[in-house]
Structure 1
Amino acid sequence: MTMNQRSTIDLEQGWDFMQNGITKLKNILEGLPEPQFSSEDYMMLYTTIYNMCTQKPPHDYSQQLYDKYKEAFQEYITTTVLPSLKEKHDEFMLRELVQRWSNHKIMVRWLSRFFHYLDRYFVARRSLPILREVGLSCFRDLVYVELSGKVKDAVISLIDQEREGEQIDRALLKNVLDIFVEIGMGQMEYYENDFEAALLNDTAAYYSRKASNWILDDSCPDYMLKAEECLKREKDRVAHYLHSSSETKLLEKVQHELLSVYATQLLEKEHSGCHALLRDDKVDDLSRMYRLFSKIPRGLEPVAQIFKQHVTAEGTALVKQAEDAASTKKAEKRDVIGLQEQVFVRKVIELHDKFMAYVNDCFLNHTLFHKALKEAFEVFCNKGVAGSSSAELLATFCDNILKKGGSEKLSDEAIEETLEKVVKLLAYISDKDLFAEFYRKKLARRLLFDKSANDEHERSILTKLKQQCGGQFTSKMEGMVTDLTLARENQASFEEYLSNSPNANPGIDLTVTVLTTGFWPSYKSFDLNLPAEMAAALLLFNASDRLSYQEIMTQLNLSDDDVIRLLHSLSCARYKILTKEPNTKTISPTDIFEFNSKFTDKMRRIKIPLPPVDEKKKVIEDVDKDRRYAIDASIVRIMKSRKVLGYQQLVMECVEQLGRMFKPDVKAIKKRIEDLITRDYLERDKENPNLFKYLA
């Protein structure tokens, strides 16, 4: 028969046929002996619906079939599914629920295939929920809504049993929780509102109970081990049966109860808190502390604070130790500057190595801990020892490493490494310009007296200093090293010239070093009355046996300071070339000198060194002078660009600009501002004396 001639199927007759198919499906699901659907069965059911939906009105039964599809589920759930669930409890109820949900999804899949024609035309045209959604929402409205509270309680009870160490069926929980997710049909609200919220509350309460006991009984390391283990297990729970979106929220709850609530108590536990772990070098525990506290909001700040206090205390103890040793030495009248300070710098380097390793390894290079280390070192590195500033101590330390016969006997690699570390320490010193001046003075002495052990090292530390403090910092020093290299070449050419020219013979060994004025530490120039031969002071005694201090001074045309140093070296030092009356250890303007004809020495050649000048005072004066210029330049620079500026702002910008080289004293800045006003660089505002204007 053709399409047009087929007989009309009425609703009741058609539905009876469909009902048979649905009953067959239910029997299969209930596990009753029922043969599976053949493709013929399936086609018959599908075609029946197709025909009933394509008959001419009033025999188009689309709406009625759509309703009956839903009723089929409702009827099955009410008569069979709900009663079977309600008679079971706890884990048995959960197992039944998983089975029923699985069956329900199968039923939805089959029925929505039988009724598929509705989905294609009727549902689409009327914008109704599709068949799958209708099927799933039947289960949601009749089963889920009724039982989700009980299900949630049963699941949470099992989770708590597992937390207490009991074995539970994790696969079952995974299947139950999947229902909460799937019921949302793409939305997470059912899982979140009907299960997760309660889980989070229960978790918080559970760990709150645990923590309140542990904090009383356990040491900080033991407590942290437990906390880390709990976090690991909760993460594991998510991996096995909770939805992945719960991980962050769950861990936050645990972290809050175990760590945030007790952070202060934990870190400050008397015999096992953060201070104690640092004191006893408990590297593993400190790493664990970092791992745990990095997870809670602002959790690392108190740890970094304690780290800073600890490092400051250790460093300050080193300063005190060095001070005590120095004062003992003073009392014993032994060499005060020198060895003790070298030991101090060496210990500060060791301390830096130790705590830098903590920052790298335990605290994973976190900026908070770099900052804490920096601030701690800035505190005690700027204290100085026994009247010597850290800037001077570091410069002396370098001098000792770099000069021939220094107290440190090190391999080339060790020297490089140590210099690297000294430059790192310099970063913490506020008076970098003072270091530069001391370093330059000592460098000058090493170079001019040929005391430098190795040119490579000299250049290498300058490179390091340049990277740390900028090119301006090292330009003069680099110039000094270059001067010496050139001087050596000149000397070699001069000696070659002498050996090749028989007529040119000065008769004495002559070494000349030509220096560039701007590079080297400033020196006084004087018009010495030069004799025809060298060794000016002694030649005076060729003409006279006895000479007074005043006569020597006049004949040589030298200043007091220089004459005193010269005569001291000849009459009071190791080699007594001149004898003096009275025979004292100091030179005074009334002394008389005589050539010591009895003087002999095993050596053919002797070197008579001049006594050292008080270098420290001179360096500090020079640096102070340079600082005045630097402050002037900075103020003028700032005012030139800003034209008008308030006092506070000017001081602040000036401190910021100069901070890389030294910490300018606010009083000094004020003084320089006054000076610049008198020199007509700036003027005060008539109305507001705290406001300055730049005068171009």
Structure 2
Amino acid sequence: MGAKIIQFDQGWSCLQKGITKLKKILEGAPGGHFSSEEYMALYSTIYNMCSQNSPNYSQQLYEKYGESLTEYIRATVLPSIAENHGEFMLREFVNRWANHKVMVRWLSHFFSYLDRWFVSQKSLPRLKEAGLVVFRECVYEKVKSNVVACVIGFIDKEREGGRIDRGLLKNVVDVFVEVGMGQMGGYEVDFEAEMLADSGEHYSRKAVSWILEDSCPDYMVKAEECLRREKERASHYLHSSSEQKLVEKVQHELLVVHAHQLIDKEHSGFRALIRGDKVEDLSRMFRLYHKIPKGLEPVANVFKQQVTDEGKALVQQAEDAASSQQGSNGAGAEVGLVLIREILELHDKYMAYVTGCFMNHSVFHKALKEAFEVFCNKSVAGISSAELLAGFCDNLLKKGTSEKLSDEIIEETLEKVVVLLAYYSDKDLYAEFCRKKLARRLLFDRSCNEDHEKSFLTKLKQQCGGQFASKMQGMVTDMTLAKDIQTNFEQYLGTNPNVKPGIDLSVTVLKTGCWPNYKSSDLNLPQEMVKCVEVFKGFYDSQTKRRKLAWIYSLGTCNIVGKFEPKPIELVVSTYQAALLLLFNDSDRLSFSEILTQLKLTNEDLVRLLSSLSCAKYKILIKEPNTKTVKPDDNFVFNSMFTDKMRKIRIPLPPMVDEKKKVTEDVDKERKYAIDAALVRIMKSRKVLGHQKLVMECVEMVQSIFKPDIKTIKKRIEDLITRDYLERDHEDSNMFKYVA
């Protein structure tokens, strides 16, 4: 016997009773819950209506499921939400959504057989999804604008200091998310967009008011507090995806829109904070702007300008000081020492801000570098920046000037100098001046400490590469070997009593590769000096057969005793000066021409020598006639009455050539070689390259050592073409080919 056929009206009447009871439960009516018998009766009814072959009511039941939900919403849910306002409306909205989910869940249980078979076969929306869609279409779409406006109103109220129910707002926001059923479009379009727009307007009004009323520090405190509160607000009742958007909106209105006004405030902006050393406020400014894309650029630009202005002011002060001291010996050099010291202090000051307040951010390192490059490369009183820095290092490392400083301070200062060197464009010029000054310190025993010299060279090597300081390191090594040779020479004299130079002799033997080129005129040495040279030459030839000695008399010094009538005085003079003075052992009076004949010097060199001994500070010789310049028809007499309060004096000899000019010429020559080498390397790897690209790559290759002049590069290209290293393309004159 088959199962009893259930007609639709009969079955739906039974189901209607269950749905009505469910509605009453949701409305809070007493009388309880579904018993298992009631639940099974409802389930069985639906099962039978869907499983019987004819008539099968699956389609009708599916439609009735939606209609029953829609009817309930229109009759009960919508009116209950509409009759409330403000907080009560929000609570009703949240409660009705919660009830609807319960109702859909129960009905889905009742209709589960329909869901498993009919819905799957027909590819229809599942009952739970269909039930939620009913709420979205019949409730959410009708009340969302009022709900959104109410929520935003509460948010604004809280921003103004009012108290609100954050839990309620969290529940409302959750409804916007859940109604999307896995999609965030509804939340983002219906709520988030409105909330962000309102937030922007709110903080735009606040910013306009604060930027006029508050100082920069006060404004930043308020902005930071607003951002903190917005993050807290987002974490309490907004979806997690909204936090970053909300923060960016607030940042834009408070910080981006008014960035320049805030940073440039006359009495409290960035420059004022720097001048007042307001570390906390500067740190706050960094915190506020570093999370904004390109937000730090306006701050860094003002920072750069501030550093540039202070640096230029230091250079101008130095220039003014040099002008006021014009005519004083060494005025430019002394002013240069002060300037470099002040620049180092300025770098310390602003590097402390970069590392402390600005957390070592690259944009501030870049700004600091660009600022220092502007004024570090300016000359003062005709002295190039490279020479000034080299002079500062020389002053730090030579005897007499650095002895008052502790080893730690000297090392620390050298470290700072090497860091500062990174901002100089003419590093090769600096290296050459350093090499010249190092040579003088080493050759004339003026270096305060060998360890400091080696440490400084190591620092230069680390900063600029091994090649940069290789010649200077070779000079230091040469001096160590020279000391060993001198020791061997003394032992040689001790073991050969018949070989005596007659006077105390110390010779420094150096290799020509590392040291600067020194001009040395031929000199007819006095017999006493000739004997010294021959003795040492005999010793050196016994030590090596491969090397030949070339004597550089211009670098030699002699200590001779002048037997003046008031008292004997020890004179520290150059080899040339000593040779000239020794002539007066045999004659009290000599003419210019007689001295010239005996020493075999050029007129120019002899004038320089006689000027140092008769026209300068110490007048060892009396010139006849008594004029300020030496002429070929002058006569010279030994000044037997010369005296000085010191028992030992050094008589300086003016340099043979303009050392500064010589260094510059040597560096220019080396730069041509460097540019040639760079051009050939580039073309060897590229084979064919355009003119502009070749120039750019050449600049990039050599700019770590010096800033090349574009005109010079063009001339070197033409020279390489002449020498058949490169050739122009026959069809395009701007293209070059490498000639293998």
468, 472, 476: which one pairs with 2:467? 472
CA–CA distance in 2 between the matches of 1:650 and 1:69? Answer: 79
Contact 1:85 1:97 in 2 (8 A): yes
Taking structure 1 as reference, are residues 51 and 638 closer, same or farther at Cα in structure 2, changes over 3 Å only? closer
Could you say which residue in structure 2 is the equivalent of 1:592? 635
Aligned counterpart in structure 1 of residue 336 of structure 2, from 338, 341, 354: 341
Structure 2 distance, partners of 1:370, 1:231, is 27
User: Which residue in the other structure is 1:520 paired with?
Assistant: 515
Separation (CA, whole Å) in 2 of partners of 1:510 and 1:260: 76
Match of 2:231, SS state, is helix
Counterpart in 1 of 2:68? 72
The yes-or-no answer on 1:455 pairing with 2:499 is no
CA drift at 1:527: 3.8
The answer for unaligned runs of 5 or more in structure 1 is none
1:504–1:9 distance in 2 versus 1, CA, 3 Å: farther
Is the CA contact 1:94–1:151 (under 8 Å) kept in the aligned structure 2? yes
Query: What is the identity, as a one-letter code, of the residue corresponding to 1:616?
Result: K
Aligned runs of 1:508-657 on 2, under 5 Å? 508-534=503-529, 536-571=579-614, 577-583=620-626, 586-597=629-640, 610-613=653-656, 614-638=658-682, 648-657=692-701
2:728–2:737 CA contact under 8 A, matched in 1: yes
* Residue of 211, 219, 224 corresponding to 2:220: 224
Displacement, 1:522? 0.2
1:227-376 equivalences under 5 Å are 227-330=223-326, 333=328, 335-376=330-371
2:189 matched to which residue of 1? 193
CA distance in 1 between counterparts of 2:503 and 2:648 reads: 12
1:137 aligns with 2:115: no
Report the CA distance shift for 1:668/1:298 in structure 2 as closer, same or farther (over 3 A): same
Point out the more displaced range, 117-126 or 489-498. 489-498
In the alignment, what sits opposite 1:203? 199
Letter in 1 for 2:152: I
Letter in 2 for 1:545: D
Q: In terms of mean alpha carbon deviation, does 465-474 or 511-520 score higher?
A: 465-474
Instruction: Work out which of the residue numbers 654, 661, 673 in structure 1 matches 2:705.
Output: 661
Give the residue type in structure 2 aligned to 1:476: K
Percent identical residues:
69
Q: TM-score, normalised by structure 2?
A: 0.85
Counterparts of residues 407-486 of structure 1 (less than 5 Å)? 409-486=404-481
Q: Is the 8 A contact 1:568 1:611 kept in 2?
A: no
Shift of residue 20, structure 1, vs aligned partner: 3.5
Contact 1:255/1:295, CA 8 A, preserved across alignment: no
What residue identity is the alignment partner of 1:521?
P
1:83 is the counterpart of 2:79: yes
Paired amino acid for 1:436: A
For 1:372-387, what aligned pairs fall within 5 Å after superposition?
372-387=367-382
Q: Distance in 1 between matches of 2:677 and 2:108?
A: 87
Secondary structure of the 1:330 match is coil
Are residue 46 (structure 1) and residue 90 (structure 2) matched?
no
Match of 2:386 in 1: 391
d(CA) in 2 for partners of 1:30 and 1:220?
57
Judged with a 3 Å threshold, the aligned counterparts in structure 2 of structure 1 residues 7 and 644 are, in CA distance, closer, same or farther, namely closer
- Within 1, Cα distance between the matches of 2:604 and 2:466? 36
Tell me how far apart the structure 2 counterparts of residues 549 and 639 of structure 1 sit (CA, whole Å): 59
| Contact map agreement 2:403 2:448 (CA 8 A) in 1 | no
Q: TM-score, normalised by structure 1?
A: 0.90
Distance 2:500 2:87 in 1: 114
Q: State how far apart, in whole Å, the 1-side matches of 2:11 and 2:469 are.
A: 101
CA gap of 1:354–1:75, structure 2 versus 1, over 3 A, is same
Q: Pick which of 429-438 and 653-662 moved more.
A: 653-662
Which residue among 133, 136, 161 is the counterpart of 1:165?
A: 161
Q: Deviations over 1:492-514 (max 9, x none)?
A: 33334444555554443222211
58 and 155 in structure 1: CA distance in 2 versus 1, 3 angstrom threshold:
same
> C-alpha separation between the residues in 1 aligned to 2:184 and 2:156?
23
Extract unaligned runs of 5+ from structure 2. 530-577
Query: Number of residue pairs matched?
Result: 691
> Following the alignment from structure 2 to structure 1, what is the Cα–Cα distance between the partners of residues 525 and 502?
17
One-letter amino acid of the counterpart of residue 432, structure 1:
K
Measured in 2, the distance between the counterparts of 1:121 and 1:657 equals 76
Q: Residue 169 of structure 1: CA displacement?
A: 0.6
CA distance in 2, matches of 1:185, 1:685: 69
Where does residue 58 of structure 1 map in the other structure?
54
Q: Secondary structure at the match of 2:469?
A: helix
Change (3 A) 1:178 1:549: same
Which moved further from structure 2: 192-201 or 32-41? Answer: 32-41
Aligned-residue CA RMSD in angstroms?
3.0
Distance in 1 (CA, whole Å) between partners of 2:167 and 2:69 is 28
State how far apart, in whole Å, the 2-side matches of 1:135 and 1:682 are.
Answer: 82
Partner amino acid, structure 2, of 1:99: N
Contact 2:502 2:528 in 1 (8 A): no
What is the one-letter code of the residue matched to 1:330? Q
**Change in 2 beyond 3 A, CA 1:245/1:587:** same
1:20 and 2:22 correspond: no
1:310 offset after TM fit, Å? 1.4
